[in-house]
Every structure is written in C-alpha cells, then in structure tokens.
Amino acid sequence: MIRFDRRQRSALSETLRELANLAAAAFGLGQFVTGGQPFSPLLMLMGIGFWIAFVGVGLLLEGE
C-alpha cells in the first residue's frame, strides 16, 4: 500500500478535483461544442458521476 505524507495527499486531492472539473466539462459541455449530434442525457449523467467520484476521492484523501 502506498503511504503519502500530508503534502502529497493535498497535491493529489487538488489534482483529482481539477480532473473532476475536466471530466464534467468533457462529458457535459462537450456535447454542445459538437453541434452535429443530439444531446445525450447518458453522457451528462456520466460527467456528473465522474465529477462526484473524483471530488469524493479527493476529499477523502484530504481528510485522512
């Protein structure tokens, strides 16, 4: 098992939260950029799910 010190956990947590925003933007807002295809609620839900998962893991790492 990998052991991180406080500074490493903080950096990893921040990176995961930034990745969450990128995933939400890619799955959610990316649909509007590619105007040729219809809106997909499944992709929007996937973006929300990735955001919740990455932010949740990031916050768990920060609170440890």
> 10-residue block means of pLDDT along the chain (64 residues)?
87 94 90 81 92 93 78
Distances (CA, A) of 32 to 28, 41, 45, 52, 64: 8, 12, 15, 21, 38
The confidence score (pLDDT) of residue 64 equals 59
The confidence score (pLDDT) of residue 34 equals 73
Length of the chain: 64
The confidence score (pLDDT) of residue 38 equals 86
Tokens 């799955």: give the residue: 27
